[in-house]
Amino acid sequence: MEAPLVSVVMATFNESAEYITASVESILNQNYQNWELIIADDSTRLETVSVIDSLAGRDNRIFVLRHSERMGFVCALNEGLKRARGKYIARMDGDDISLPDRFQREVDYLERHEEVSVLGGAMNIINKKGEIVSYRNYPQKGMKLLLWSILRNPLAHPTVMFRSAIVQSGMYYDVKQKKAEDIEFWLRLQKNGYQIENLPNTILNYRVESDLSLKRNKEQWKYNFIARKKNFNWNHPLCSSFSIIISFLFILTPSSVIRRIYRQENSKTINSVYRN
């Protein structure tokens, strides 16, 4: 039986030549080889454009999408989804690195578990030198994942693989979500009965050039609140209510306090990495 096609959707914007090359090569080096890579490129830097074109010339499974005007990240993602032909769609960013067994692990799991529509996994956090400085893992499924989702993102976006039937049903990222577009998408899928789970395995290196806590600002939490309020889940009203309340409280909390909370959490994870 032929292995199902995986469509990898990568939205890019002015990544360095080093980062985008490492990212694409991590796909070329996958153990699982029945894939297509769709790069929705929104770059304005000639260096990035040139490198992407050069990488696409190396393999006829790589396709590049561009518009005459900037699309923006979410629109670029949706353009990539529209072009996807695979049974499964894998997300990937232009500065992250998929580990060699990522696609094989995700396809195998989805093939064995037809009830699961969206699958993520754990990830290493690497700095600009490619050194592992931390990691993130997520509850695998069920009530633990639901409770985790009250405050946090249930999935690490660049680790995700999902069934293309979701897109074929007309569900795309919400272009109004300038931030937290991934959380909004997962919550909307859950509200509509799609099952999400996580692998316990580490399947990706997620690159962060600065303090990860700096991303947790008021604007991020504003869009987080909007996403949670918009996608109230009547199947789990108590969890949804707590989620909305906590998101709103974070909007009122000083950014310095939010960053301190995330730094303390990150330090616990980093200490765990070095102990192991």
19-30 pLDDT per residue, tens: 999 999 999 999
Pairing of strands 35-41, 97-98: unpaired
pLDDT digits (tens, 9 = 90+) for 65-117: 998 888 899 999 999 999 999 999 999 999 999 999 999 999 999 999 999 99
Spatial separation of the C-alpha atoms in residues 83 and 38, rounded to whole Å: 8
pLDDT of residue 115: 97
Asked whether the beta carbons of 122 and 160 are under 8 A apart, the reply is no
Are 127 and 211 within 8 A, CB to CB?
A: no
Q: What is the pLDDT of residues 118-133, one digit of tens each?
A: 999 999 999 988 999 9
Instruction: Tell whether the model's pLDDT for residue 275 goes beyond 50.
Output: no
CA–CA dist 153, 63 (Å, integer): 30
Position 261 scores a pLDDT of 61
Give this prediction's pTM: 0.88
- pLDDT score, position 182: 94
The residues spanned by each domain of the chain are 6-211
Nearest Cα to 96, choosing from 179, 9, 32, 215?
A: 9
* Rounded Cα gap, residues 73 and 88, in angstroms: 21
pLDDT (average), residues 5-16: 95
> pLDDT tens, 191-220?
999 999 999 999 999 998 765 544 556 677
CATH architecture for residues 6-211: Alpha-Beta Complex (3.90)
| Segment 155-184, tens digit of pLDDT | 999 999 999 999 999 999 999 988 889 999
Q: Give the tokens for residue 128.
A: 């600009």
Query: What per-residue confidence (pLDDT) applies to 117?
Result: 98
pLDDT at 47: 94
Q: From the CA atom positions of the chain, what is the Rg in Å?
A: 18
HSE of 13 in the Cβ direction (CA atoms, 13 Å)?
12
Q: What is the pLDDT of residue 273?
A: 40
